[in-house]
């Protein structure tokens, strides 16, 4: 499992490309798979206490092992702070593997207005 830092600006839309490979570095076919993404304030929080919980089941080219995590401005509209996240893959054989984890940093936004008229 790879520890990685994910950083977003509070209230922004953000996309992250997640790549899934086997131990030999070969892309895992994501056909009929589900990718779970969860952000929590504390690692011991229950899943229903997650600040962000997303499931990805549609993949543009599943055979490439690439999933795009799309976070909306609503998803990232949480207080600026350092949180914890992980990504789990449930493959087409129902095998579960945790693939990414680390700090999820939400940075305070400077510009808040979104209408410039």
Q: What is the pLDDT of residues 5-16, one digit of tens each?
A: 999 999 999 999
Task: Tell me the CATH number at 61.
Answer: 2.60.40.10
Residue 85 φ then ψ, to 5°: -140, 160
Residue 38 lies in a domain: yes
pTM above 0.95, yes or no: no
Q: How far apart are CA 57 and CA 66, in angstroms?
A: 12
Sequence-ordered list of residues with C-beta below 8 angstroms from that of 21, at least 6 positions apart, any chain: 27, 28, 65
Residue 90 lies in a domain: yes
Number of domains in the chain: 1
Residue 51 lies in a domain: yes
Burial class (CB in 10 A: 0-12, 13-18, 19+), 85: buried
Residue 113 lies in a domain: no
Residue 49 lies in a domain: yes
Residue 86: domain span:
2-107
Residue 95 lies in a domain: yes
Sign of the four-CA dihedral 62, 53, 21, 13: positive
Residue 77 lies in a domain: yes
Mean pLDDT split into 10-residue runs, the chain, 117 residues: 86 95 94 98 97 97 97 97 97 92 94 67
Residue 12 lies in a domain: yes
Q: What is the pLDDT of residues 103-115, one digit of tens each?
A: 999 999 887 776 6
């Amino acid at each position: 499992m790879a520890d990685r830092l994910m950083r977003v600006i509070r209230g922004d839309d953000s996309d992250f490309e997640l790549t899934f490979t086997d131990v030999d570095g070969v892309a895992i076919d994501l056909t009929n798979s589900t990718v779970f993404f969860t952000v929590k304030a504390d690692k011991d929080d229950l899943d229903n206490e997650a600040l962000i919980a997303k499931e990805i089941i549609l993949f543009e080219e599943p055979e490439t092992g690439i999933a795009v995590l799309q976070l909306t401005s609503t998803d990232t509209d949480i207080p600026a702070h350092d949180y914890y996240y992980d990504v789990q893959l449930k493959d087409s054989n129902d095998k579960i593997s945790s693939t990414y984890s680390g700090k999820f940093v939400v940075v305070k936004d400077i510009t808040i207005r979104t209408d410039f008229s």
